[in-house]
Structure 1
Amino acid sequence: MCGIAGYLHADPARPVDPQTLVNMAAIQHHRGPDGFGYKTMNDRGIGFSHARLSIIDLNEDRGRQPFFSNDGNLMLTQNGELYDYKRIRADLTSRGARFKTKSDSELVLHLYERFGLEEMLKTCRGEYAFALYDREHDRLMLVRDRFGVKPLYWTEHNGTLVFGSELKVLFAHPEVPRQFSAQGVYHQLMQTIVPGTTAFEGVHQVKPGHVVIIERNNGKFEIKDERYWDMDFPLMGERDESQPEEFYIEAIREKLLEAVQLRLEADVPVACYLSGGIDSCATLGLAAASQQSPVKAFTIGFDDADYDESVIATEMAESVGADQDIMRLKADHLYDNFVETLWHTERTIYNTLGVAKLLMSRHVNQAGYKVVVTGEGSDELFAGYPAFRRDMFLHGLDTLPPEERKEWQALLDESNKLFQGAMLAENELHDPALDALVGFTPSCLQPWLAAAEHVPGLLHPELRKQTEGYQPGKAIAEALDGDMLKDRHPLDKAQYVWIKTMLEGQILTWGGDRVDMANSMEARPPFLDHHLAEAATKLPPTMRIKGRTEKYVLREAMKGILPKTLYEREKFAFMAPPAHTDPKKWDAMKALADEYLSDQAIDAAGVLDKDGVKAVFDLHEAQDTSASTKIQLDAVINHMIGIQVLHSHFVATDVPEMARTRAEELGWAA
């Protein structure tokens, strides 16, 4: 719902510049166009700022952050939403809490005061990122929600720790360096990043379900990274699969309905994103059943029939009486907005779906909406992606009863057809570090580890030297918690790895918050409610994938809501058409490449290698290059352009000056 920012000096006597805080808020004005605020504790060398998107408690003065606690000991700035806040607020009020606002964010102050950090985090339910400073203990806490729906970055340089909702917010601080890291560029070019990292040297993300605690000791920072929640699947020996199917179906139905209803709570109208998948259709159906007035549903339609889901989406909208709005996009038009999209994603993107989502959020904003309910997270909880079925085929059959094993084995003959596509590697790949940690290399990582073979040749010689012998699979494996993978079912392992890599680093960033909030649009994913997620961990594997049917339990739970066509439909990954599938789109991509991947542009940036870039295009256009390889190379080309664009946006541009100018244009001043 907002953008947050702030910084803390290791020397508490060093003053904070209020205008810098205002500039940091101004450069993320798109996240919070409804107002701004800042507060400092100059005797403690700390200050916060906030750009506000008004959704709950629309009173401009009363809801303005940052907030102080009643006794002045705590200072808070928060982005996102806390659900079930009315019940919690009433409980706290009965215990003597005195609220100054109607904002859900204020709950954090009262929960922390009464119960401490650990119990407060257990109570927080929703999508949020916040900074909380405790004056008494001289402690700054940076907290991110359990799945990483809301972003939060931080860096420390020369005795100043800076944080914010976006990278550009950190870079708006004049002391923060803006330079790529060699390993960061490596992972941007291969798509999958190491959890907790970014493309930039010394800049970190607060990991999902974590709190970064910063304390000062004799003019130096002591920084601890603590986990407060994780997707904890049961150990193999602890699984109870004795319950009948209806037990699991009813549990998921109950938890999902509750999650949807909580996310309809707002002081502004709430709409739904609607594709042709059962995830967004389920949320729309439950939203429509939960309120009397028709729900507004927004759908993206592509001009490529192989990727367009609008027909099925329309069938769903009509079945529940929703007011549907279809925005139709031409494939070649997407590259017109590619550069703008990367200003917001702050990382490279492999598919122009991110561009389509940015255009959709703009369309929704112009229609007068600030909040949408979305379907993200369903595939992660209920094993909806082809990669999960492949891992089940290859590694999980021996865990099934004999009669079910025969049914699965019969499907192996169809596996080649089933596994083709952008989300699966053309040939099976084994990474030693991931094999050792997980027991196999998850299929979701294989296409990007395969793409990594192109990366060394694409890097500037200096960066290539710095990454000589670098093992990206090992770096990813070292960032995962082996205790969460040990003695779990193969399907649990595959889902866990996806959640820690693809969900947080891709779907919830350049496919979610960053392109939604680019147009002041808050997206709420009920499937990522942690109460629902915890129920999903207890599902037997065959309640998630049953023979040919992925997301079996969700289909059965939503059977009364979904049209028959959709109930019976196999999973289709929602993405924009790859560039090479459409001559006009390919020409549009080439035009962008001519600008950003010219010899002159590559030399100026000093990040890529001209010969390596040319080799990728030559391979893409070779007659004997397979369709699967072309899809992979489409992604690599998008990443190459993306690296150059990121350099232009954040390294070559004077970001602090841009932030100062933006604050002046808005009339925001300290």
Structure 2
Amino acid sequence: MCGITGWISYDHDLTKQRATLEAMTATMACRGPDAAGHWLDTHAALGHRRLAVIDPDGGKQPMTATHEGRTLLVLTYSGEVYNYRELRAELEKLGHAFRTRSDTEVVLRAYLQWGEEFAERLNGMYAFALWDPRNRQLLLIRDRMGIKPLYYYPTPDGVLFGSEPKAILAHPSVHPTVDAEGLAELITFTKTPGHAVYKGMHEVRPGHLVRVGRGGVTVKRYWALTAREHTDDLGTTVAHIRALLDDIVDRQLIADVPLCTLLSGGLDSSALTALAARALDAQGRGPVRSFAVDFTGHTENFTPDDLRGTPDGPYAHALAEHVGSEHRDIVLDTAALTDPGHRAAVLAARDLPNGFGDGDTSLYLLFKAVREQSTVALSGESADEVFGGYRWFHDPEAVHADTFPWIAAGLSGRFAGDGGTREALLDRGLLAKLDLPGYTSGRYREALAEVPFLDSDTGLQRRMREISYLHLTRFVQILLDRKDRASMAVGLEVRVPFCDHRLVDYVFNTPWSMKTFDGREKSLLRAATREVLPDVVADRVKSPYPSTQDPRYHEALRGELTELAADRTAPVRPLLDSGALAEATADGASPGIRPGAELILGMNAWLRTSGTTLEL
């Protein structure tokens, strides 16, 4: 896993711009702590920071392909291609000679052999840039599910690109600016594909490639979810899902560095940990190592709410004991969650104040602790989107609401289970200008217009295909981006097996009645993996990523809001509703202020440190 960046200019000599390229590349040091590389030519400058996972000695980048002293292709690459061994064997039969064991070189040679269509052959998570000096063309390519981020910023004579916005913002010609649409995207819970929040910047959409030439920028889709008739019966479907999971986990255990799993005690992470334990044992590489996040006193003092009915700890321990994993709990207290240095690190990692509050901080601290012992971790992310695990999948009111179901269910204000709203402290005039309901509605209709259907899709089956599509193309992007930034901020590669496009495509086309055949959430996943799980874990009801319930956390937020209210130089002050702020800082203020407080405190730090200009 790595960080990439670069600059294409058709009107300037970039060989004289090494200092700028080095500055852009340096912003990706957290993503690639092991090595730095730069490649410059007249019209192209490519940078790379490396986290060595496969072939540490041979996979240095940017990597070139040459013939008779002439450079044919240059690649700066981030990610993992899990079927690189099969592709390498095929390419060798076609006459290609390899000088390394890396998947990077396989990507390079695959493009030389098959051209742009080679992306359709890749299985993995990746974001990379290919510069072809022969036709002076750049290709930016992102994996099908958008696991790895990639941004670009068109210029009058070319493009800037990077794994994260910070790489582009390090270029002297780019000033961070956010307009009203960008602010609406930031505040709402939508994650529009291709939208980067910063004005003039774009995100390469999942399953797309961006072609840059002297004539400008063009975009091409190479993969999308499609609707196909599902002809397998229930038994065959369950067996096929299990076979896919066994293959996926086996592939994603490939690494030349220490590897582990992230274990919450839920069905998703437990299934992966159990399957990984079996695979590692069969390979003589066991036992599996697992990690879980917890909070001081959380299990003993846990109070059920409408999102979480049980604490994670007992279930994680039950699974760890069942499979014999080397397990470690990462236990955090309120002081760690509110530490200004930790929050600053999270903001720097994410480039934007996304408002997950303690959920972001705890994830960052979990990954920081994991990185002390492992370089690669497997995560259960996206199983809920694939198999229908969230509670609002099974809530008729949310399902049939005329908006994104997670918004209808109130998730945007209930990530911490407190029932508030993210926009609660914002000025009413600003909210009227942003028109967040209208913005959300527009993005919702855009998403619905993309959904593929079969003629036989009617009634609930048709609506649930829409619901699945919304989650697989919108909601999962929120979580994948969050996980990527928090993990790569500490140089940890997190793999997400449930995002394998073969599994996603197969389950997307499985009828909703089959996905809920036992009357529960994630019926197919439970059936496919029950035999490797203890019953207490297999039967556990879905519980989202944990959030601290310590009342001192709420009080700490209120104290910070009070300081902000007294600071007339606070850059976020013009955006706030003074009455709402006064209520939020009063004695006995409701815990419902939490989502709004976390967003506002994050925005204030962002505006103060990033130099961002708001064009409202």
The normalised TM-score by structure 2 is 0.88
Matched letter for residue 508 of structure 2? T
Q: Distance in 2 between matches of 1:20 and 1:268?
A: 32
Partner-residue secondary structure (3-state), 2:568: helix
Partner-residue secondary structure (3-state), 2:257: coil
Q: Distance in 2 between matches of 1:620 and 1:490?
A: 45
Q: Which residue of 2 aligns with 1:30?
A: 30
Q: Distance in 1 between matches of 2:25 and 2:48?
A: 6
Q: Distance in 2 between matches of 1:315 and 1:537?
A: 31
Matched letter for residue 164 of structure 1? G
Does the Cα contact within 8 Å between 1:6 and 1:48 map onto a contact in 2?
A: yes
Per mean C-alpha deviation after superposition, the further-off stretch among 309-318 and 93-102 is 93-102
Matched letter for residue 578 of structure 2? D
Partner-residue secondary structure (3-state), 1:501: helix
Matched letter for residue 20 of structure 2? T
Q: Report the CA distance shift for 1:295/1:230 in structure 2 as closer, same or farther (over 3 A).
A: same
Q: Report the CA distance shift for 1:469/1:363 in structure 2 as closer, same or farther (over 3 A).
A: closer
Q: Report the CA distance shift for 1:69/1:597 in structure 2 as closer, same or farther (over 3 A).
A: farther
Q: Which residue of 1 aligns with 2:575?
A: 608
- Residue by residue over 1:124-161, the C-alpha shift from the partner in whole angstroms, topping out at 9 and shown as x without a partner, is 11111001112223221111111111111111244351
Partner-residue secondary structure (3-state), 1:49: strand
Q: Which residue of 2 aligns with 1:226?
A: 220
Q: Distance in 1 between matches of 2:26 and 2:243?
A: 42
Q: Distance in 1 between matches of 2:601 and 2:545?
A: 23
Matched letter for residue 65 of structure 2? S
Partner-residue secondary structure (3-state), 2:311: coil
Partner-residue secondary structure (3-state), 1:507: helix
Q: Distance in 2 between matches of 1:598 and 1:96?
A: 70
Q: Distance in 1 between matches of 2:398 and 2:553?
A: 36
Matched letter for residue 249 of structure 2? V
Is 1:372 the counterpart of 2:366? The answer is no
- Residue by residue over 1:498-533, the C-alpha shift from the partner in whole angstroms, topping out at 9 and shown as x without a partner, is 2222211x21122x1110111100001111111111
Is 1:501 the counterpart of 2:463? The answer is no
Per mean C-alpha deviation after superposition, the further-off stretch among 225-234 and 464-473 is 464-473
Q: Report the CA distance shift for 1:454/1:650 in structure 2 as closer, same or farther (over 3 A).
A: closer
Does the Cα contact within 8 Å between 1:343 and 1:649 map onto a contact in 2?
A: no
Measured after TM superposition, the shift of residue 186 of structure 1 is: 2.3
Does the Cα contact within 8 Å between 2:347 and 2:602 map onto a contact in 1?
A: yes
Out of 579, 585, 594, the position equivalent to 1:634 is 594
Does the Cα contact within 8 Å between 2:31 and 2:491 map onto a contact in 1?
A: yes
Q: Which residue of 2 aligns with 1:354?
A: 360
Q: Report the CA distance shift for 1:156/1:621 in structure 2 as closer, same or farther (over 3 A).
A: farther
Measured after TM superposition, the shift of residue 6 of structure 1 is: 0.3
1:309-328 equivalences under 5 Å are: 309-328=312-331
1:74-153 equivalences under 5 Å are: 74-118=73-117, 120-153=118-151
Q: Distance in 2 between matches of 1:597 and 1:183?
A: 26
> Per residue, is there more helix in 1 or in 2?
1
Does the Cα contact within 8 Å between 1:153 and 1:166 map onto a contact in 2?
A: yes
Q: Report the CA distance shift for 1:100/1:543 in structure 2 as closer, same or farther (over 3 A).
A: same
1:518-537 equivalences under 5 Å are: 518-537=489-508
Q: Distance in 2 between matches of 1:226 and 1:251?
A: 31
- Residue by residue over 1:450-488, the C-alpha shift from the partner in whole angstroms, topping out at 9 and shown as x without a partner, is 899974972596x66863698212341354262425565
Out of 62, 68, 74, the position equivalent to 2:64 is 68
Q: Which residue of 1 aligns with 2:441?
A: 474
Does the Cα contact within 8 Å between 1:191 and 1:350 map onto a contact in 2?
A: no
- Residue by residue over 1:354-377, the C-alpha shift from the partner in whole angstroms, topping out at 9 and shown as x without a partner, is 21111111111112x100111111
Q: Distance in 2 between matches of 1:39 and 1:394?
A: 50
Is 1:588 the counterpart of 2:578? The answer is no
The normalised TM-score by structure 1 is 0.81
Partner-residue secondary structure (3-state), 2:161: strand
Does the Cα contact within 8 Å between 1:392 and 1:491 map onto a contact in 2?
A: no
Matched letter for residue 185 of structure 2? H
Q: Distance in 2 between matches of 1:468 and 1:297?
A: 44
Partner-residue secondary structure (3-state), 1:301: strand
Measured after TM superposition, the shift of residue 649 of structure 1 is: 3.2
Does the Cα contact within 8 Å between 1:7 and 1:161 map onto a contact in 2?
A: yes
Is 1:363 the counterpart of 2:369? The answer is yes
Q: Which residue of 2 aligns with 1:297?
A: 290
Measured after TM superposition, the shift of residue 204 of structure 1 is: 1.4
Out of 159, 172, 175, the position equivalent to 2:173 is 175
Out of 195, 212, 215, the position equivalent to 1:214 is 212
Out of 335, 338, 347, the position equivalent to 2:343 is 338
- The answer for unaligned runs of 5 or more in structure 1 is 396-429, 431-439, 654-670
Q: Which residue of 2 aligns with 1:563?
A: 534
- Residue by residue over 1:597-651, the C-alpha shift from the partner in whole angstroms, topping out at 9 and shown as x without a partner, is 654243x3576235265167279966xx7xxxx55x4222211222222223322
Matched letter for residue 111 of structure 1? A
Determine which structure has greater relative contact order: mean sequence separation of CA pairs < 8 Å that are 6+ residues apart, divided by chain length: 1
Matched letter for residue 357 of structure 1? L
Q: Distance in 2 between matches of 1:151 and 1:607?
A: 32
Measured after TM superposition, the shift of residue 195 of structure 1 is: 2.4
Measured after TM superposition, the shift of residue 378 of structure 1 is: 0.7
Aligned-pair Cα RMSD in Å: 2.7
Q: Distance in 2 between matches of 1:598 and 1:233?
A: 56
Q: Report the CA distance shift for 1:184/1:615 in structure 2 as closer, same or farther (over 3 A).
A: farther
Is 1:383 the counterpart of 2:379? The answer is no
Q: Distance in 1 between matches of 2:398 and 2:581?
A: 38
Q: Distance in 2 between matches of 1:186 and 1:642?
A: 16
Q: Report the CA distance shift for 1:331/1:550 in structure 2 as closer, same or farther (over 3 A).
A: farther
Q: Distance in 2 between matches of 1:54 and 1:541?
A: 41
- Residue by residue over 1:222-268, the C-alpha shift from the partner in whole angstroms, topping out at 9 and shown as x without a partner, is 2122221123243xxx454xx43211100100001111010100111
Measured after TM superposition, the shift of residue 73 of structure 1 is: 2.1
Measured after TM superposition, the shift of residue 595 of structure 1 is: 4.8
Is 1:646 the counterpart of 2:610? The answer is no
Partner-residue secondary structure (3-state), 1:546: coil
Q: Report the CA distance shift for 1:324/1:453 in structure 2 as closer, same or farther (over 3 A).
A: closer
Q: Report the CA distance shift for 1:477/1:485 in structure 2 as closer, same or farther (over 3 A).
A: farther
Q: Distance in 2 between matches of 1:37 and 1:255?
A: 37
Q: Distance in 1 between matches of 2:565 and 2:7?
A: 36
Q: Distance in 2 between matches of 1:160 and 1:252?
A: 44
Q: Distance in 2 between matches of 1:542 and 1:392?
A: 18
Matched letter for residue 568 of structure 2? Q
Q: Distance in 2 between matches of 1:548 and 1:228?
A: 36
Q: Distance in 2 between matches of 1:393 and 1:175?
A: 45
